[in-house]
Amino acid sequence: MPHAQPLKPTDPSRLGDYELTGRLGEGGQGVVYLGLAPSGDQVAVKLLHAALIGEETARRRFLREVDVAKRVARFCTAQVLHADIDRDRPYIVSEYIDGQSLHRRVALSGPLSGGSLERLAIGTATALTAIHQAGIVHRDFKPQNVLLGPDGPRVIDFGIARALSATSSTTAQVLGTPSFMAPEQTTGAAAGPPADVFAWGVTVAYAANGWPPFGQDSIHAVLNRVLHDEPALGELSGALRELVAACLAKDPQARPGARQVLLCLLGQDEIVAPPPAPRATPPGRPDAAARAHPANPAGAAGRADVARGLDTSAVLSKASHLAAADTPPETTLPPAGGWRRARPVLIAAAGAVLAAGALVAYLVLPGVRSFDGLTVSGPTSAAHPRSAVPPAPQGSTPSATPSPGGGDTGGRASATVPRVAGLTRAAAAERLRDAGLTPGRVRREDSGQPLGRVLRASHRAGVSVPAGTRVDLWVSYGTAVPPLVGLTTDAAGARLGQSGLEPGGVTERCSSQPSGEVLATSPAAGTRVNVGSHVALTVSEKGRFAPSVVGQTRAAAESAARERGFSPVAITRVIGDQSQHGRVLSQDPPPTACAPGDSAPALTLVIGEAAGTSEPPGTATGVP
């Protein structure tokens, strides 16, 4: 059943042909209402804050952009149904999805994992592919715009950013949400499909961890990390972690396109792409080609690459050529000769996946079955059995003598355990693979080190062990935001200090709880954060909101005041307008103010009185 709040007195009761029955939420772009279509179907109606006063060109452009959004395939999205303008306020009608947002789901129940996280990744990548296929850039892809419906995740608001930017007065308002913005967006550059892919990667990381990989504190700090820092990917592991890391590349040309992301998730990595430009290899490090499992025949390399866990360098090199597959019609295509060879395979594979439904394809395709570990395995054919110990990479040195601290290698190739403490988990796993070792289990523990940083390994750095040895890692899990709801502001600050955290901004909210009592925190209790992070507090301002009674009759206003716990006090004022006789002209306090006090506060009502009545003007009447 829909969870809508009652309409406010200032809300419209109808927009065009749609009756509004409740409020679903409000954000920076507008208010979302639950509505009824003429057919009786429930719809979501978003009334935008932007006004198109007297701008006929902007009006036509707005409606044209929304018309483009209506062509987006409706699986994995909330289909746009209609758009119009009511008294200079544009509104958009879309399919109603009965489900909470990903942001609310994580805040209330914690991060996703396992199959839930995989389904989210595939469903949202499918939606993004469909959106880009229609020539649209979302520009504000984030957890609040992903609804978890009964039939899977749905992406919403994909037509609004482009439609709003149709007017010069609103372009600056739709730049994006700082924690989910791509580096190029922070400089004011136009957002293209790669920016959506970046936001998809941030959203998946948020779903897995409960916090975005570049933080969510001050805007300046977040944008600085987006531009210069590596993402903190926390609980993400295996092929999904590698794919998300590729999507978070600073260079937009280095990110995979939405369709490439979807194909990688579905195990369809058999795309013919032009060879990547040669890259310089740092001294002492084998190049990417030498590390790409030379024991596999070339014909099996495509899907086997995904089945073993995506190699970041391979994803990045392919992405630079395949991102063009997601270029909408208005952008420039790369020169012919490269991606044209990949295009038929991409369109055939993506078309089949999209037509049949990405989730169904996921269940039947053999390439990917789980992202739970650092290694993701598909089925092993009899012709190419998978060895328990992968072949030693080029550059490893055989040894027939016992290894110091590592035991006898028995004549097999040996490898030296590298130092991994202080690295991110992804960097540590890559360094282990470069050394000819296998990343093993990942264990987490509370630590003052940044989230996701490696604390130690199961084998001491510098010892020699057989090539392919599995090395376990212990990584920092940061600290958890403690439960603070119900505490006073001072007590909450002390509790935060005990957890190594700092109080952030304090926002007051009118409520029936004692003043100064904590009502909510951001991040929520239980969220894993770095030691030293700031936690914002929402505290109570004891009081109540007065009802909105201006325009009502005196009797109706007094009744509404008593129901809300106020003592109405009426003051009459002589007026010349007979239509306002006996009606409330103004009130104090207004409905937006928090009236303090435990007992029934006074609500002063100014009542209009037509000239010539028996009661002298200005008489104050206390109403018990």
Q: What is residue 307's predicted lDDT score, i.e. its pLDDT?
A: 32
Binned at pLDDT 50, 70 and 90, residue 466 comes out as very high
Domains of the chain: 14-95 (3.30.200.20), 102-142+177-364 (1.10.510.10), 414-476 (3.30.10.20), 480-544 (3.30.10.20), 546-622 (3.30.10.20)
**Pick from 470, 392, 455: which is nearest to 419 by CA?**
455
Residue 494 sits at φ, ψ, to 5 deg, of -65, -40
Sheet of 89-95, strands arranged across: 14-15, 18-26, 30-36, 42-48, 89-95, 80-86
Q: What is residue 139's predicted lDDT score, i.e. its pLDDT?
A: 87
Q: What is residue 577's predicted lDDT score, i.e. its pLDDT?
A: 83
Query: Higher model confidence: residue 304 or residue 191?
Result: 191
Q: What is residue 448's predicted lDDT score, i.e. its pLDDT?
A: 87
Q: What is residue 164's predicted lDDT score, i.e. its pLDDT?
A: 52
Rounded to whole angstroms, how far apart are CA atoms 452 and 233?
A: 7
**Pick from 31, 30, 28, 164: which is nearest to 20 by CA?**
31
Binned at pLDDT 50, 70 and 90, residue 619 comes out as very low
Q: What is residue 54's predicted lDDT score, i.e. its pLDDT?
A: 55
Tokens 């295009």 locate to 343
Strands, DSSP E only, in 355-493? Answer: 414-416, 438-445, 454-457, 464-466, 470-476, 479-480
Q: What is residue 188's predicted lDDT score, i.e. its pLDDT?
A: 74
**Pick from 52, 75, 135, 143: which is nearest to 106 by CA?**
143
Mean pLDDT calculated for residue range 237-242: 90
Q: What is residue 79's predicted lDDT score, i.e. its pLDDT?
A: 84
**Pick from 406, 470, 462: which is nearest to 436 by CA?**
470
Region of poorest pLDDT, from 149-163, 164-178, 211-225: 164-178
Q: Counting beta carbons within 10 angstroms of the beta carbon of residue 482, is it exposed (0 to 12), middle (13 to 18) or buried (19 or more)?
A: middle
Rounded to whole angstroms, how far apart are CA atoms 194 and 196?
A: 5
Q: What is the pLDDT of residues 525-546, one digit of tens each?
A: 888 888 888 999 999 988 888 8
Is it the case that residue 618 has pLDDT exceeding 60?
no
Q: What is residue 273's predicted lDDT score, i.e. its pLDDT?
A: 32
Query: Higher model confidence: residue 405 or residue 332?
Result: 405
3-state secondary structure of 503: strand
Rounded to whole angstroms, how far apart are CA atoms 289 and 327?
A: 28
Inter-axis angle of helices 114-133 and 258-265, nearest 10: 150
Q: What is the pLDDT of residues 210-225, one digit of tens each?
A: 989 998 888 888 998 9
Query: Higher model confidence: residue 252 or residue 323?
Result: 252
Region of poorest pLDDT, from 60-64, 464-468, 479-483, 533-537: 60-64
Q: What is residue 241's predicted lDDT score, i.e. its pLDDT?
A: 93
Is it the case that residue 350 has pLDDT exceeding 70?
no
Is it the case that residue 304 has pLDDT exceeding 50?
no
Query: First and final CA of the chain: distance in angstroms?
Result: 41
Binned at pLDDT 50, 70 and 90, residue 77 comes out as confident
DSSP bridge pairs for 509: 540
> Side chain identity at 9, as an amino acid letter?
P
Q: What is residue 123's predicted lDDT score, i.e. its pLDDT?
A: 95
**Pick from 474, 426, 419, 427: which is nearest to 446 by CA?**
474
Is it the case that residue 166 has pLDDT exceeding 60?
no
Query: Higher model confidence: residue 619 or residue 245?
Result: 245
Is it the case that residue 278 has pLDDT exceeding 60?
no
What share of the chain in percent tops pLDDT 90? Answer: 30
Q: What is residue 125's predicted lDDT score, i.e. its pLDDT?
A: 96
Binned at pLDDT 50, 70 and 90, residue 518 comes out as very high
